[in-house]
Structure 1
């Protein structure tokens, strides 16, 4: 039976529970254990798919088409284990399922209540599909005491009683702030947070204490005394120089050893060679490049979390540091002089995905700059669509546009209402619901054998994750290819353009999917590795 590790947070949010969960899973994996990580999100949205990036950061997409919390991206990048629909659940989805059952009469007239119906659903989620695993790590979003998180905490309390202490471990992430006026670290917030959790029926087994300086041994003993844990279970979590150093840092502080001690398991040395290699590549680059990311959510970098990490991975593949310059696309819609001033210092230009019309003309201007100046260009999802619109306009179709932005005489990009999915033909109404109605998840594409993209993948058939409801109109293919923009990747049925490229350009690639979702630090995505390599060649020319 799998052992369950439940991860809660207290005092304040954004303490790094997701990175902690991913790091601990990676350390257990390095000891040869099979792991899976899950995320409980207490908000009432069914999933984050319709939430603004400014509200929730990026929406991460799994192979099976789930729109999930961005922490699942951390989980995948650190463990290499592909997440599934079953690995992320929200209060909204739980209540939706329960109400649907009540409407069908599945509860046989019983009064439907938080206990036991909601808590039972949470427990079922935590326990599902765990037969072949050694450890299941479950992270609860938010902080202890949040009213929306109470059913989750109660469900976990029940699970501890049902499974026993020998099968469950509670790790509580808390804050030990430094008060400059007093000149010392303060343990009282941690004590209050643990008291709050204990009042809900859960005694934490391990405390992970976030602090910005060394936690003295005396303070560790004090926390252990007041919080009813052994001193070795008080683990300092200092700020790391980069997120890929976190697993090594937690191992040094004894987090994984303490977890194994709790379960009464032998603690043999893990194989951390790949994490040592990753941190070495990150901390000792042999050059650097600057990439301009022209987007519309640049005010919040979490909106492009996977994208930023994939660029870092591309740098690791080439052993260079990648400096990312986040550029608001709207500034290019005011003055043409702004374009040259912002983009000339860049060694590569990346136009990412997004929704809505705002900033799109600035993105198109960026594509034009990259094409005319022969600067390496990478367009993702909406970025590919903007490359096709720019290509059509440069071919003389001045009114080329997307139906996403309103009626147009030249719909180079239009809404996709049907496509071949995993279970046959899928259809969507143009004016239908927004949530969960896009082309989501992994789909195959076939690549032209002699194309640049095929050489980057070293393959002619690929599978990548999608998240979009608009597609490039294949009826414009002849016009675009006549102007040098080649359709080098298509869906297996030959109807949907997946990849475009310019063979006469140093690096000009647009993809309809999101390759950043499948990039790992120890296995950089070939498109990001190739893009950074092209940017490095550009840097050496300057």
Structure 2
């Protein structure tokens, strides 16, 4: 039976609960324990799949096809444990499940209430996979006191009391603001946050205090006294130069020891932090720098491409160089020459996205990279834009485009070399979709196999001819144009096992030009960089040496 650590936040949002949870998971692994991390989100969306990236950042996709919060990306990158559908739940999902049961008559005519029906549903979610790991780390989104989060806090209160004593602890993140005028840290917001927790029947065992300034011992003692925790369980959390310093930084401050002490695990196994020491060594001892242009449409919010940014960092670590990723709005050159903007970059990356806005700029970026022999990595929509560019400028299909853009405009304007995916094989089942389906959860989602051409660049990069990668899209490159495009040098080097769906394209004769329909960034980790990103950065390094 797993031990549970519930991670909550107070005072303000965006304190770094997800990062603290991921770092704690990594530290527990370093001590020889197995872990699984979960996220409970209070919002009423069933999942973040239909949310704008400006609202919620990127959508992280699991192998089994769940669209989840970006914090699950942190969990995977720090622990290497693949997330599952059962590791992410929202209020919307909980209420949806309860209402489905009510419609079926599962509650035998009872009046449906938050307590016990909603809270029981949350507790059932928490208990999934209880016997699989040593520690279950459960992060609750938002801050204590948010009205949306109350059912989750109540469910946790019940869950803790229903479990054997000592099986659950609570870790609470707060902010210690610094007042420059008086030159002191203020502990009162933390005290009020803990008081709010206590008012709903919860008490923290470990306090993690974010601060921009060192926390004096007397302030830590004061916090411990008024918040009813042990002094050594008040853990400072300072700003870091890189998120990958978090495991080592939290270990120095005693977070993992405080958690094990709260569970009464003594003597605690000694940690092996070699993995994280190597990660930091590669980050802090880079032997050069490359500039990569990310040409996208959500560039105002970097969290919209969080996994891509991290995967580029990992690719840099694999090559012992620093990757300077620069965000370029594709609309800057939708109608003009991109040279003034893209000149000086060592590689171009065009990420995924939805809708027509900015796509002409992405097509021009793909053309510029092809003609200048600059390394190009197109992901999802970025691959489709590369295919459209080749269709227009190499194969002579002047009005080549995507069915997505015609659907959006409500008029037929393009010859669709990219079309709406109507059916595909998932496991032993055929999945069918239509344009009029609901948007949420109806894409080709999760891990699918791909077969690679043995003599292709991408097979060389992977060192294999059979791979499995995660997808999130509802439009595909039309296989009917394959022969016409391959005659002009665009090789379809990766296909679905049944040969119907293009997975990877690459330009023959180009040093490094690859487009993939899937999202390789979702599987990259600092201690195991994804091979596509590692080789993409290697190719960028080669360009930088020629400049």
SS at match of 1:108: coil
**Partner in structure 2 of residue 308 of structure 1:** 309
Aligned-pair distance for 1:132? Answer: 2.0
Cα pair 1:176 1:209 within 8 Å, conserved: yes
Contact kept in structure 2, 1:171 and 1:207, CA below 8 Å: yes
Contact 2:31 2:270 in 1 (8 A): yes
CA deviations 1:84-132 (Å, max 9, x no partner) are: 0000000000100110111111100001000000001111111111212
Segment drifting more, 419-428 vs 323-332: 419-428
Conserved? CA contact 1:400–1:408, under 8 Å: no
SS at match of 1:166: coil
Counterparts of 1:82-481 in structure 2 under 5 Å? 82-265=82-265, 266-336=267-337, 339-394=338-393, 395-406=395-406, 407-481=412-486
The superposition leaves residues 312-360 of structure 1 with CA deviations (integer Å, 9 ceiling, x where unpaired) of: 0000000000000100000111432xx1111111000000000000000
Tell me how far apart the structure 2 counterparts of residues 252 and 175 of structure 1 sit (CA, whole Å): 19
Instruction: State whether residues 49 and 68 of structure 1, in contact with CA within 8 Å, keep that contact through their aligned partners in structure 2.
Output: yes
2:488 — aligned with what? 483
Task: Using structure 2 for the length normalisation, give the TM-score.
Answer: 0.98
Whole-angstrom distance in 2 between the partners of 1:4 and 1:55:
30
SS of corresponding position for 1:294: strand
- Is contact 1:402-1:408 (8 Å) kept? no
CA deviation after TM superposition for structure 1 residue 423, in Å: 3.6
Whether the 8 Å contact between 1:75 and 1:81 is mirrored in structure 2 is yes
- Equivalent position SS for 1:500: strand
> Deviation at 1:215?
0.5
**Which SS does the other structure have where 2:15 is aligned?**
coil
Distance in 1 between the 2:353 and 2:177 partners?
37
| Superposition deviation, residue 466 in structure 1 | 0.1
CA shift digits 1:46-82 (9 cap, x unpaired) = 0000000000000000000000000000000000000
Asked if the contact 2:418/2:477 (under 8 Å) is kept, the reply is yes
TM-superposition CA deviations, 1:195-250 (whole Å, max 9, x none): 00111110100000000111000000000011011100100000111000000000
Equivalent residue, structure 1, for 2:409:
none
1:526 aligned to which of 526, 531, 540: 531
Deviations, residues 174-195 of structure 1 (Å, cap 9, x unaligned)? 0001111111111011001000
State the partner residue of 2:68.
68
The 3-state SS of whatever aligns with 2:401 is strand
The answer to whether the 8 A contact 2:292-2:349 is kept is yes
Deviation at 1:431, TM superposition (A): 1.2
C-alpha separation between the residues in 2 aligned to 1:352 and 1:49?
17
